């Protein structure tokens, strides 16, 4: 098949080219399905953790601004910059990393499962069909969202509680959620994530298909 002609041209994965090189130097055809799951999960998780660590203050401000409305929003959190000023004034630099560990754990788990399951699916079934790969992408995004969503919920609640001077430790936040909403409170709003998983699955499939089209064009131009 066409893919076999250029499989030696290793693409930089969206889950982190350097992280993939860090965890495996073996050629793709020598890597088993289980190793693909392991390597891709590590690469996806490491890349996600690096990204969220670099941009967490922006993520925190966006979460706080989007969680407020009406007069409270106008008074304090009318913009990202306004929110940043409030956090700096009331809590100092440490305030920008409220809930950091919970959110980082959530994002790391999400992307580990997201890329690991998808690459495992492709390796295991050697998926050539876009529809087949879309099914694999949908499965990976749905499972990833289900696994990581409780930690994401806790991290968001910790951020909002800290702004309102309410108990915002990890244990206090879990207790508050379970007392108020029960265990299902950890998954409040998760249906939106399931719907968004269609977009995530489409992204994975389009990434592969566009890459293949570009490689075919490259090989045609260079006569390979």
Which residues, other chains included, contact 28 with Cβ-Cβ below 8 Å and sequence gap of 6+? 7, 10
Per-residue confidence (pLDDT) for residue 31, from 0 to 100: 61
16, 44 contact by CB (below 8 A): yes
Q: Give the pLDDT of the chain (224 residues) as one tens digit per residue.
A: 444 443 444 444 444 554 555 555 555 556 676 777 787 888 888 888 888 888 888 888 888 877 765 444 445 666 778 888 888 888 888 888 888 888 888 888 888 888 888 877 777 766 567 777 788 888 888 888 888 888 888 888 887 777 777 777 888 888 888 988 888 888 888 888 778 778 878 887 888 788 888 888 877 887 65
Cα–Cα distance for residue pair 4/30, rounded to 1 Å: 15
pTM for this prediction: 0.66
Q: Which domains does the chain have, with CATH numbers?
A: 15-221 (1.50.40.10)
Of 23, 83, 67, the residue nearest 47 (C-alpha): 23
77, 65 contact by CB (below 8 A): yes
DSSP 106-136: HHHHHHHHHHHHHHHHHHHHT---HHHHHHH
Of 140, 153, 75, 70, the residue nearest 110 (C-alpha): 140
> 165 φ, ψ to 5°?
55, 35
Token pair 């693909």 in the structure block, residue: 36
Locate all alpha helices (DSSP H) within 25-99, ordered by sequence: 33-66, 70-76, 80-91
Element at 8 (helix H, strand E): none
């Amino acid at each position: 098949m066409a893919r076999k002609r250029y499989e030696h041209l290793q693409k930089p994965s969206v889950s982190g080219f350097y992280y993939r090189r860090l965890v495996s130097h073996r050629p793709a055809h020598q890597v088993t399905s289980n190793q693909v799951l392991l390597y891709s999960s590590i690469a996806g998780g490491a890349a996600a953790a690096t990204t969220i660590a670099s941009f967490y203050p922006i993520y925190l401000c966006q979460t706080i601004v989007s969680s407020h409305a009406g007069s409270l929003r106008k008074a304090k959190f009318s913009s990202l910059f306004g929110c940043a000023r409030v956090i700096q004034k009331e809590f100092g630099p440490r305030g920008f990393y409220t809930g950091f560990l919970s959110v980082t754990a959530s994002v790391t788990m999400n992307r580990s499962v997201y890329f690991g399951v998808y690459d495992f699916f492709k390796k295991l079934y050697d998926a050539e069909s876009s529809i087949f790969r879309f099914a694999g992408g949908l499965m990976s995004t749905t499972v990833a969202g289900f696994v990581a969503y409780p930690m994401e919920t806790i991290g968001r609640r910790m951020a909002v509680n800290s702004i309102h001077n309410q108990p915002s430790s990890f244990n206090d936040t879990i207790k508050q959620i379970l007392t108020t909403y029960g265990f299902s409170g950890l998954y409040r709003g998760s249906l939106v994530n399931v719907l968004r998983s269609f977009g995530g699955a489409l992204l994975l499939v389009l990434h592969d298909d566009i890459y293949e089209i570009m490689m075919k064009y490259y090989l045609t131009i260079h006569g390979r």
